Amino acid sequence: MSTRRDFLNKIAMSGITLPLMSTVQPTEAINITDYQGPVLRVAIMGLGSYGTRVAEAMRESKMAKLTGIISGTPAKIKDWQSKFGIPEKNCYNYENFDNIKNNPDIDAVYVITPNALHHDQVIRVAKAGKHVICEKPMAINAIQGQEMVDACKKANVKLLIGYRMHFEPKTLEIIRMRSDGELGKVLFFQGLAGFRIGDPNQWRLDKKLAGGGAMMDIGIYAVNGARYMVGEEPVWVTAQETKTDPKKFKEGVDETIQFQLGFPSGAVASCLSTYAMSNLDRFFLNGEKGFAELQPATGYGPIKGRTHVGELNQPHITHQTVQMDEMAAIILQNKKPVVPVDGEEGLKDLKIIDAIYQAVRLGKKVDLKL
């Protein structure tokens, strides 16, 4: 398996115990069964495997519709035009996409390109007056992330980050249980995120494009998951790096990082991010009164979970369909999600990742101020 998306898809397929119900709409989440209101018109930037997954999922969306595409590959543009019915006037390349400013068919752009490209592309979209959805991590460091947040605020457009798990039903049920005190005082969180990466020439192993290695790809799930599972912001981090293949994982491209987080309440987290081990997609939350576990925790689904009171049985809905409907509600109706998905949320993860890399370099605890 060569990429995080291959890994997440494989985890999903290997863990299926419920039928895939991509046609089931997230009515419980935003009550849109008979939705007749405004629709968010979205252009996807970056027509790779995940862009395709999002586009396919949007076929089932009620509040979001694919209306435009941006790509540097003319053949992909032609293919998508045919597949998704995109008119020529809504097709752009990376040189001319600033012209979306004058296109009323596009309300928002979903940036799904390599990490290092996000910063400039998001700022250009904001300057064009369009809302932005950006894949995670939103940038390669917190300085870039802050500049993106500031640019979107200045342009008076929303910046959302592609945290699909923030809308996943089993995940939200655990968050509800924790918030309602059913787990008691939270004591410990474990987040395992990893797979064996394949092609050594892919962009995810190129520091200039990825900004790092496993931490910037799969590890961000454990970073973000620790925050929404514990329900607090960490105040310190320690971290250790292991590298067994320096030829494949060159300088600045991390293979495996173990990191620990401390929270104001005294809760601690122990997490693993790796490109060298498979079968790692597990969250475990322990409290004084009970526990909650997800395994797989972040795959494309179905997510499987249990707590001290039994199995979690919320139905599986295609994550990207739910995400796009929920994000449309945030942009069009100013809906407030249970767990934020805005630029500030993405910026906090980047600050933690910066601190993790710093802790690896220094070999000591690094304080966090989020």
Q: Which residues are identified as catalytic?
A: 136, 221
Cα separation, 35 vs 31, in Å, equals 8
Amino acid at the residue 62: K
Residue 280's nearest CA partner among 165, 189, 193, 197 is 193
- Residue 307 near residue 287 (C-beta atoms within 8 A): no
| 278 C-beta neighbours (distance < 10 Å), count | 14
- Residue 63 near residue 321 (C-beta atoms within 8 A): no
227-256 in b/e burial notation, b at 16+ Cβ within 10 A? Answer: bbbbbbbbeebbbebebeeeeebeeebbbb
Q: Which residues contact 318 (CB under 8 A, 6 or more apart)?
A: 20, 21, 22, 57, 60, 301
End-to-end CA distance of the chain: 35
If DSSP codes are grouped into helix, strand and coil, which group holds residue 192? strand
Helix (H) or strand (E) holding 256: strand 256-262
Which token pair is 305? 């979970």
37-66 in b/e burial notation, b at 16+ Cβ within 10 A? Answer: eebbbbbbbbbbebbbbbbbbbebbbbbbb
Amino acid at the residue 88: E
